[in-house]
Amino acid sequence: MKDYLNSKAAEYSFLLDWLDGEIHNLQTRNANHPCIIRCLQDKLRELRQLHNRLKIIAGLGSDKLAPRAIPIIHDMEYQVLILTHYIPGLQRENSDDIFFRGLVLSVKDRCGLSWIEDILVRLDGHHAIFPVMPEIPIVFAPPHHVVSTLDLAAIYHELGHDVFQRLKEIGDNMGAAAFLYYFNLKQSAGTMAPEKRKARDNTIRAAGNYWNMERLNEIFSDIYAAYVCGPAYYYSCVDFVIRLGRNPFLINPTDVHPPWAARVHAIYKTISVNYQNDGVINWVQKIWEGYTASQQKNVDFEMFCPTALMDQFVDVANRNIQRLLPAAQRYSDPLQDSPITGGEPQDKSLERILNNRLKMLYTDPGRYAEWEKKVFDIFKTSSRS
């Protein structure tokens, strides 16, 4: 084991010197992210300290001390992973990434994200976020977001992951709600044969275990996105499921995402009651109901994703948002037409624009392309001012 520890100490010595050089180069070339550079330098100092401890243990050559080195190696690997996510993003950052960064940062105050100091954007993949440091998350998004608002509402879902990572209490509270639901369900059984009771209990146990922290993270992020972005996020998800041909009732035990039917239900329940009789929302509902009617429902869906549990998730998540994120503004503005001509709108908030987009698609789709071009002219003008 001592030979292994000596080899790891040698490997990390070279790697840390390389990281040091890369961060130094970024410090001299990148003026956009002083906060991120400082955080990376702090992480590197932590790595140096761990490396020194590893070298001391390796140098003592005692097999009895070797077990103390393994957690140090694990910690170093984790810290290296963080650094090697940020460094390539900073190195490849271009004007499109910087533009979209400004767009995302423009929503953080309205969304209650007071802890976010900076964001690193990578417009080179699917929507995702790397929130291991919630104060400076890495946001991934498709490159078309520099010219198109298609799926742009999904960014609020990714910010929801940052909230979930930052405020651990939310996951604990939602997990407690799931546990209580399935506990009460198990207790509600009447008299039945022992073999039937055993089978029922096993199914309930599997359903309860299904709602781990990863899936609670996903359903919370949907609820959060619907809370701060409103109907635009609801439509975006319905549109995404239909155009990709997903079965909304499919329960995939290897996928951290819950079935879309459960997610869309939670999203619809979250958007403000102001929209219950709105023609646009009724239009989206009919589209969704028509699509789901043509899909085969998974036999386990009602046990794993019952409506009553989804409603509890919505209730718990909304109460936690209101209590822990009091600055987060719930989107409840009326869905209004967005004029194409007549100057720039007074309210340029991304949420308002995305909800105007939904109204445009419903009332005047023939002029949508013209409208979207003007919207990006507004975005880019604002980013330069």
Instruction: Give pLDDT tens digits along the chain (385 positions).
Output: 778 999 999 999 999 999 999 999 999 988 899 999 999 999 999 999 999 999 999 998 887 888 899 999 999 999 999 999 999 999 999 999 999 999 999 999 999 999 999 999 999 989 999 999 999 999 999 999 999 999 999 999 999 999 999 999 999 999 999 999 999 999 887 767 888 889 989 999 999 999 999 999 999 999 999 999 999 999 999 999 999 999 999 999 999 999 999 999 999 999 988 898 899 999 999 999 999 999 998 889 999 999 999 999 999 999 999 999 999 999 999 998 766 544 444 457 899 999 999 999 999 999 999 999 988 988 887 765 5
Residue 328: its pLDDT value, please? 98
Please say whether the beta carbons of 41 and 82 come within 8 A.
no
The dihedral sign for the CA sequence 337, 288, 277, 236: negative
- For strands 138-140 and 128-130, give the pairing: antiparallel
In the block, tokens 């077990």 appear at 67
Both structure tokens of 196: 């039937």
pTM (2 d.p.): 0.93
CA distance 91 to 381: 26
Q: What's the one-letter identity of residue 164? A: F
In the block, tokens 């089978």 appear at 199
- For strands 120-122 and 138-140, give the pairing: parallel
Both structure tokens of 166: 């930052």
Q: What's the one-letter identity of residue 358? A: L
CA distance 254 to 140: 22
Please say whether the beta carbons of 239 and 341 come within 8 A.
no
Residue 235 — φ and ψ, nearest 5°?
A: -65, -40
User: Closest by alpha carbon to 160, among 223, 240, 230, 237?
Assistant: 223
Q: Give start and end residues of each alpha helix (H) in 188-256.
A: 194-210, 213-229, 231-244
- Own/partner pairs, 44-50, CB within 8 angstroms, 24+ separation: 44/16, 44/19, 44/20, 44/83, 46/79, 47/12, 47/16, 47/19, 47/76, 47/79, 47/80, 47/83, 48/16, 50/75, 50/76, 50/79
- For strands 120-122 and 128-130, give the pairing: unpaired
Q: Which residues pair with 120 in a beta bridge?
A: 138
CA distance 33 to 201: 53
Q: Give start and end residues of each alpha helix (H) in the chain.
A: 2-29, 34-60, 66-92, 95-105, 154-166, 168-187, 194-210, 213-229, 231-244, 260-270, 279-293, 301-304, 307-324, 350-363, 368-384
Residue 57: its pLDDT value, please? 92
